[in-house]
Amino acid sequence: MRISNQVFTLALAVALSWAPALPAAAQQTATAVFAGGCFWCVESDFDKVQGVTATVSGYIGGEAATATYDTVTRDKTTGHYEAVEVTYDPTVTSYDKLLTVFWHSVDPFDAEGQFCDKGPSYRTGIFTASPDETAAAEASKEAVKAELGRTPATAIVEGKTFYRAEDYHQDFYINNAAHYTSYRFFCGRDARLREIWGDKALLGTKDNPAS
Please give the Cα distance from 143 to 196 (Å, whole number).
15
- Other C-beta atoms closer than 10 Å to the C-beta of 119 total 14
DSSP β-bridge partners for residue 58: 83, 164
Whether 38 sits among the annotated catalytic residues: the reply is yes
Q: Which one of the listed residues 38, 41, 116, 187 is annotated catalytic?
A: 38
User: What's the CA angle centered on 177, arms 121 and 210, to 5 degrees?
Assistant: 70
The answer to whether 61 and 83 have CB atoms below 8 angstroms apart is yes
The answer to whether 37 and 117 have CB atoms below 8 angstroms apart is yes
- Other C-beta atoms closer than 10 Å to the C-beta of 166 total 11
Kindly list the catalytic residues: 38
